Chains A and B, each alone.
Chain A
Amino acid sequence: MSEFISKKDLLTWLGQLMEERNLVAPTRVDDLLLFSKIDQVEDIVFDFDNTTLSPKEWFYPSSETLFYVEQKDGQTELIPAVIEKETAIFGIRPCDAQGMAMNDFPFLEEPADDLYRQHRDKTALIGLACITACPECFCSSMGSGPHDPANVDILLTEVADGYIAQVLTDKGKALLPDNLLTTADVSSPPAPVLSEVPSDGIAEKMRQAFDEPFWDRLADRCIHCNICSYVCPTCYCFDVRDYTDKERIERVRSWESCQSPGFTRIAGGHDPRSTKGSRLRQRFSHKLLYFPRQFGALGCIGCGRCVRACPVNIDIREIIQDVQQLEVKSEA
């Protein structure tokens, strides 16, 4: 037996959530599928594989004011940004929820990033289990899975006429009133079968492959745009800049990418990652070697967005496979 919510009750509930907090859900914008703030529940898309951009925008916006500094009555005052309203994200996929959990490692490790913590604390995740998958999906090889309940507050799985509801956390309990749930004799549909990527032992292989010409050859094709970083749920690098005028200073951070030329340029002009190969290697080493080494988990969650969006088919699944098979000449 499972807890069940009918499609009709789900819409009513989402309508209620929309009234009392920000409701964010997948919407269609031209040909794209994007997480947007919902003004009417009719805009929500229920039938989708995954969104074009990841939901990280709602925890770590592409641009965000960190604080203002103002002069008032001869005093200098620092006014930090405050996230006031609660948010619920509906329709987040298990892979993306895992991605947000991965971002907790760098952002919430002390000293924690206060603004990220506010976003995280004030946001509840209503996950949708995957019934189908994109050809590029490989979450089950990266420590998650299409029905993984691990990182959401509520997980809904679509069945006939409604959804199986798993209420998983206190945040989830507070969000979904008991009276909307019934008990029903329905079982979860099978999870979609995804392509397997040989991620076992990849960290060590990445370490061994550090000096291989493989990266320069791969970089021949790479155009070094920032698409992969910006569509990725777990890429979290940013740049910080002050916007100043007579009355106040605003400190802003915006997404940045290790693929940008000059990302690692330092005072005096030296750039330790001046070659395209070294920049490309950095992105994959961060996901598959440094992140696991620092936090004990792979930094890629297998959502497949970078594979779909890359203009020149730099495919992390193929890279993992190729690195596993590299014959490393000698150990330094």
Chain B
Amino acid sequence: MDFSEEIRGKAKELLESGTVDCVIGYERATDGVGARPLFVYQPNDIDRLIFDQTCTHNLTKYLLNRKGKATAIVVKPCDSRAINLLINESQVQRDKVSIIGVVCPGVVKAGLDNTSGELQDTCRMCQQHTPVLYDFLVGEPASEADVPDTYPDVTGMEDKSAGERRAFWEEQFSRCIRCYACRQVCPGCYCPECFVERLDPMWVGIRIAPEENEVWNTMRAFHLAGRCIDCNECERVCPVNIPLSLLNRKLGKEVEELFNFQAGIDAETAMPFSTFEKEEKLGISE
């Protein structure tokens, strides 16, 4: 799959017409194989744009740096859900963003080239191959995949005993180096001051040590309950391979079961985290 020409055509049109002053897309990385984000401001940089199955990054986080500025952005289906989330939470103005949606068969594992066909794990469980939100669509709308089990990883974990789960996560979090790459890349993490950086009172200690790492990682996961759009960026960027998506997907599954809600499917449905119905508490205590 290679949609580079289509993306370039659309970028040229949007930049030259003055509709936007920046197009956020992808270019080839320095290894000659993978992709990296690209900001195009000038028509003569348009030819650097690419789109193929190595384009793994969720670029929507960058929209938060361009508030109020007319911007075009290339999104895959999972990324498009992040824009809905950000519109729903009043972080992105819909009329300032031109969304170039791409029909996505899934992206390949890190280090592999476009032709390898070996998809990332989350892509194999993904049901959404056409963006939920776009102004321009690249590729033929795909019929949605019939994935029989969308949470095999989570149910696999749920089958373990509480003790086993605790031991598993303790070991994973013990490796955390608190680089905060998971937060920095996450479109749902945009607090002007993250709780982990609060100094007075200090909510989480600065010590890069198991107990404090555990507080950091679990609090971040709870803040994303019903907000995570499952782009897997946190897990992809983690330099010590902590399976963060597993944690976020568990909370996503809980929210789906309790509230019949999936983040980012549209921009209007009230978010479970920011609304309260009296009858809700009935289900939660079980």
B185, closest chain A residue (CB)? A223
B208, closest chain A residue (CB)? A62
> Of A135, A255, A276, which one neighbours B208 at CB under 8 angstroms?
A255
Q: Which of A289-332 contact B (CB under 8 A)?
A: 307, 309, 311-313, 315, 317-318
Q: Which of B166-196 contact A (CB under 8 A)?
A: 175, 177-181, 183-185
Stretch of B146-154, B237-245, B259-267 that contacts chain A = B237-245
- The verdict on A202 contacting chain B, using a C-beta distance below 8 Å, is no
Q: Given the complex, which residues of B lie within 8 Å of A256, measured CB to CB?
A: 206
Whether A315 contacts B30 in the complex (CB less than 8 A), given A220-B39, A227-B179, A252-B206, comes out as yes
Query: Cβ of B179 and Cβ of A252 under 8 Å apart?
Result: no
Stretch of A25-33, A104-112, A164-172 that contacts chain B = A25-33
Query: Cβ of B208 and Cβ of A254 under 8 Å apart?
Result: yes
Considering the chains assembled together, what is the distance between the CA atoms of A229 and B208 in angstroms?
14
Q: Report A59-85 CB contacts with B as 1/0, cut-off 8 Å.
A: 000110000000000000000000000
A226, closest chain B residue (CB)? B179
Whether A32 contacts B37 in the complex (CB less than 8 A), given A62-B208, A135-B31, comes out as no
Q: Report B193-225 CB contacts with A as 1/0, cut-off 8 Å.
A: 000010000100111110000000000000000
- The verdict on B258 contacting chain A, using a C-beta distance below 8 Å, is no
Q: Which of A246-268 contact B (CB under 8 A)?
A: 252, 254-257, 260-262
Whether A32 contacts B209 in the complex (CB less than 8 A), given A62-B177, A317-B30, comes out as no
- The verdict on A239 contacting chain B, using a C-beta distance below 8 Å, is yes
Nearest chain B CB to A249's CB is how many angstroms away?
14
Nearest chain A CB to B47's CB is how many angstroms away?
17
- The verdict on B29 contacting chain A, using a C-beta distance below 8 Å, is yes
B186, closest chain A residue (CB)? A223
Whether A227 contacts B237 in the complex (CB less than 8 A), given A53-B177, A220-B39, A241-B202, comes out as yes
Nearest chain B CB to A251's CB is how many angstroms away?
11
A224, closest chain B residue (CB)? B184
Considering the chains assembled together, what is the distance between the CA atoms of A207 and B180 in angstroms?
30
Query: Cβ of A223 and Cβ of B61 under 8 Å apart?
Result: yes
Considering the chains assembled together, what is the distance between the CA atoms of A32 and B62 in angstroms?
29
Q: Given the complex, which residues of A lie within 8 Å of B57, measured CB to CB?
A: 311-312
Q: Report A14-53 CB contacts with B as 1/0, cut-off 8 Å.
A: 0000000000000001111000000000000000000011
Whether A309 contacts B239 in the complex (CB less than 8 A), given A220-B39, A223-B185, comes out as yes
B41, closest chain A residue (CB)? A217
Nearest chain A CB to B155's CB is how many angstroms away?
22
Nearest chain B CB to A91's CB is how many angstroms away?
19
- The verdict on A4 contacting chain B, using a C-beta distance below 8 Å, is no
Q: Report B217-258 CB contacts with A as 1/0, cut-off 8 Å.
A: 000000000000000010011011100000000000000000
For the complex, count residues of A whose C-beta is within 8 A of B.
40
- The verdict on A90 contacting chain B, using a C-beta distance below 8 Å, is no
B57, closest chain A residue (CB)? A312
A-B contact number at CB 8 A: 99
Considering the chains assembled together, what is the distance between the CA atoms of A256 and B178 in angstroms?
9
Query: Cβ of A217 and Cβ of B177 under 8 Å apart?
Result: no
Q: Given the complex, which residues of B lie within 8 Å of A255, measured CB to CB?
A: 177-178, 208
- The verdict on B131 contacting chain A, using a C-beta distance below 8 Å, is no
Query: Cβ of B181 and Cβ of A225 under 8 Å apart?
Result: yes
Nearest chain A CB to B257's CB is how many angstroms away?
30
Q: Given the complex, which residues of B lie within 8 Å of A226, measured CB to CB?
A: 177-181
Nearest chain A CB to B121's CB is how many angstroms away?
13
Query: Cβ of A225 and Cβ of B30 under 8 Å apart?
Result: no
- The verdict on B105 contacting chain A, using a C-beta distance below 8 Å, is no
Q: Which of B27-59 contact A (CB under 8 A)?
A: 29-31, 34, 36-39, 57
Considering the chains assembled together, what is the distance between the CA atoms of A304 and B236 in angstroms?
19
Nearest chain A CB to B189's CB is how many angstroms away?
11
Q: Given the complex, which residues of A lie within 8 Å of B207, measured CB to CB?
A: 63, 241, 243, 252, 254
Query: Cβ of A311 and Cβ of B39 under 8 Å apart?
Result: no
Nearest chain B CB to A170's CB is how many angstroms away?
34
Query: Cβ of A221 and Cβ of B241 under 8 Å apart?
Result: no
Q: Which residues of B contact A (CB under 8 A)?
A: 29-31, 34, 36-39, 57, 61-62, 65, 175, 177-181, 183-185, 197, 202, 205-209, 233, 236-237, 239-241
Q: Which residues of A contact B (CB under 8 A)?
A: 29-32, 52-53, 62-63, 135, 217, 220-221, 223-227, 229-231, 239, 241, 243, 252, 254-257, 260-262, 276, 307, 309, 311-313, 315, 317-318
